[in-house]
Structure 1
């Protein structure tokens, strides 16, 4: 399986103009290699099929990637005329819900590949000559970074589609290494006090990560690692899915309506739990973080355990705050970009690493696996930071925020999964989804107030 993770590089602001152009080209080509790997491994029938009403056909994602690249880079940055304006409505993510997309007159696979390839060639020509400074879209190559992140985000979406498809396996990757044998505390105490949340200095950060602002938190404790499959099985065996007292009213209503009894893709046979993973049926690995659970399931587990989900501010303080210097790091381990010793990212593996892995990726407080492995549900609704400004377009974040006085629809996830590329993963990166979603690569860890018994 393709290793879609580029090698370590210096921060964007430290690069020369030539190095910045090379970095951008590397990120674009790395994303396209991954896109090709996810679409070349299946036949045309599988590319055009809808494997789940929750997801688009893979061929839609493929052409959408090219269309967004043309829109932002060739048209907005390069001032070029549209190549195929008639297809713009087909690949506008807000124009047609996913369930409708198979019925649209989409480009066939060969044409979709050809379109994306032609766009990419013109973009690389544009990159060779455009000034990467001056206009906000071009400062530090932001627009190019936006597109590299966009493609990698759709690659994660397509990987979710691969998990949902039935049939023989078509993807492979080596398994993660076992976790080190060191003994870890079950939780880490984070003292009360302020820290800087969000960013003003990350050149490719997206609008919902901005601006940087001070948040003062009471003391809390947070799990050293994500909740494991073994721990989650104890919740199941203790009747967690049958006890309304562990569930919020909305969560219990959804559990009953959806008939939830275990994480998605789990089944019980001959006295053991099995899971389906990219076409393989295998025993559920006890040491891995639990995966494919809704926010409601994560919340119920936390209540059962006498704990709660962390807020996203608590998650970010545990991940970024350095109590010695008082500053917030780019990543838990420091400011250098992720390497394979830090985190499980970039589809290097097709599963999470065992809990306790990557000691070199720990935060200053000693919390592990805050980046990579599984997206982590938080207690927080998806809302803007104080001083938020939509940029470069409202539809990235603003349209997903609840209007004043309305109930928020989306919960925040933090940290990224094994399917997330390093270019689309930072200590400030915010993801969001409906609390009923569980096809995504999401798990969780729990927290508690320090003054709680």
Structure 2
């Protein structure tokens, strides 16, 4: 087990994760936190590598603080281990740009806090208290332990983004990418998703978070979706055709943002002569044309889609393409079925420090034929972040509800830096449309007549 639960493919429900699954999920998250922080000295851990990000040492103690609050106090009924730190590590009280000036715990203190709270949390997991009401709901299916494992892994991905932003020599292992089964033949440029209803969201996945709930029926017209994420080579065509110089392709606010910020290419790209290069985790290399484009904001993705005569998919369209099985009428947990992701299904969990080539992971394809819907790059959708019909905030409003509205756009599918425990067909991410430091790309869609011709093939 990888720390989440699995079910038989084709089943209609999910098994409740046991204590062993919960412990494994917590352990896996902590291994990754340690790997992202132990290779840097005190100066690197306490520095702010970008005003968009916290010092890494803040993330370390914040992870411990959330575990203190939710696993010790809320789930275990234990006294606070470090209640005096609650305000200091409250993400809503202190914007990221201000955090270096706070009296933060040093790296060694943060590591001790992480170790001490984890020891107490495992005792709660081994012998949970008798509980009713809210506490019983937190402990049901070990939900609160899964929530905290996901929280730590989400911060691990944020810390990975900080590694990408930091200047200096490479410190993370850049493993040779495995054979991902990338298709060397020609794939159809897009796939048809027929009209009809499907079930969006979930009411039965034990570790799904509040914004993924409840399951509800959505009716959609037919549409076509790119078979793979948009590649670097395709995005370079947009650049070469004056994509950053032609306001007609851009959302009005996006154009103003492009001009203000002087955007001319994805973040971390630069040109030497006729060659596009990129900086990737302390290394400089030629931009690989066959990988999904990465580090583009929503406005850039939207402009590319308009240039290509297409549009970004809605969130519902993305999820139907990823989950709906027309043979059974069911919505699957993942594009390939209900079982957890294996190495043949998706590029997840920081197994490598880059997306896989477009067309990879044929065994992870969705029933509609689209590939790489989970892993590799987060995918921007056209939809604002809102609650589903019947949404209920649990266990706290600040996870989702306070972000609802038109300011944020939804991203789906996870990236190479997203842990499996925090990535499934229903998982929802969101960010401001100007954000580029996240591991985000996109694919495009268009309306379709279900009887119309297929799109031309593309490599």
* Contact 2:189-2:226 within 8 A present in 1 as well: yes
Pick from 99, 103, 106 the counterpart of residue 105 of structure 1.
Answer: 103
Q: Does 1:182 align with 2:185?
A: yes
Structure 2 gap ranges (5+) = 454-459
Q: Which sits farther off after the overlay, 162-171 or 182-191?
A: 182-191
| Structure 2 match to 1:172 | 173
| Structure 1 match to 2:284 | 281
1:141-179: CA deviation from partner (whole Å, max 9, x where unpaired): 000000000000000000000000000000013233361
Report the Cα offset of residue 86 of structure 1.
1.6
Alpha carbons of structure 1 residues 382 and 15: separation in structure 2 relative to 1, 3 Å = closer
* Contact 1:311-1:380 within 8 A present in 2 as well: yes
1:46-105: CA deviation from partner (whole Å, max 9, x where unpaired): 000000000000000000000000100100011111122221111011110000100000
Q: Which sits farther off after the overlay, 414-423 or 73-82?
A: 73-82
2:423 and 2:260 mapped to 1: Cα distance? 34
| Structure 1 match to 2:267 | 264
Q: Which sits farther off after the overlay, 76-85 or 222-231?
A: 76-85
Q: Does 1:324 align with 2:327?
A: yes
Q: Does 1:304 align with 2:304?
A: no
2:53 and 2:14 mapped to 1: Cα distance? 39
Give TM-score, length-normalised by structure 2: 0.94
Alpha carbons of structure 1 residues 166 and 243: separation in structure 2 relative to 1, 3 Å = same
Report the Cα offset of residue 133 of structure 1.
8.2
| Structure 2 match to 1:77 | 75
| Structure 1 match to 2:224 | 221
* Structure 2 SS opposite 1:91: coil
Q: Does 1:141 align with 2:137?
A: no
* Contact 1:295-1:436 within 8 A present in 2 as well: yes
* Contact 1:10-1:336 within 8 A present in 2 as well: yes
Pick from 342, 346, 353 the counterpart of residue 343 of structure 1.
Answer: 346
| Structure 2 match to 1:163 | 164
What are the residue-to-residue correspondences of 1:5-404 with 2, within 5 Å?
A: 6=2, 10-11=6-7, 20-130=18-128, 135-176=136-177, 177=179, 179-402=182-405
* Contact 2:14-2:204 within 8 A present in 1 as well: no
Report the Cα offset of residue 181 of structure 1.
1.9
2:413 and 2:224 mapped to 1: Cα distance? 18
* Contact 1:131-1:138 within 8 A present in 2 as well: no
1:405-452: CA deviation from partner (whole Å, max 9, x where unpaired): xxx100000000000000000100000000000000000000000049
| Structure 1 match to 2:456 | none
* Structure 2 SS opposite 1:136: helix
Q: Which sits farther off after the overlay, 273-282 or 6-15?
A: 6-15
| Structure 2 match to 1:447 | 445
Report the Cα offset of residue 183 of structure 1.
2.3
1:376 and 1:32 mapped to 2: Cα distance? 27
Report the Cα offset of residue 131 of structure 1.
5.8
Aligned length: 442
* Contact 2:349-2:417 within 8 A present in 1 as well: yes
* RMSD between superposed Cα atoms in Å: 1.7
* Structure 2 SS opposite 1:205: coil
Report the Cα offset of residue 7 of structure 1.
7.8
* Contact 2:3-2:26 within 8 A present in 1 as well: no
1:367 and 1:259 mapped to 2: Cα distance? 34
Structure 1 gap ranges (5+) = 403-407
* Structure 2 SS opposite 1:377: strand
* Contact 2:380-2:441 within 8 A present in 1 as well: yes
* Structure 2 SS opposite 1:138: helix
Report the Cα offset of residue 352 of structure 1.
0.2
Give TM-score, length-normalised by structure 1: 0.95
2:253 and 2:14 mapped to 1: Cα distance? 48
* Contact 1:8-1:339 within 8 A present in 2 as well: no
Alpha carbons of structure 1 residues 7 and 357: separation in structure 2 relative to 1, 3 Å = farther
| Structure 2 match to 1:405 | none
1:37 and 1:385 mapped to 2: Cα distance? 36
Report the Cα offset of residue 6 of structure 1.
2.9
Report the Cα offset of residue 40 of structure 1.
0.2
Report the Cα offset of residue 254 of structure 1.
0.5
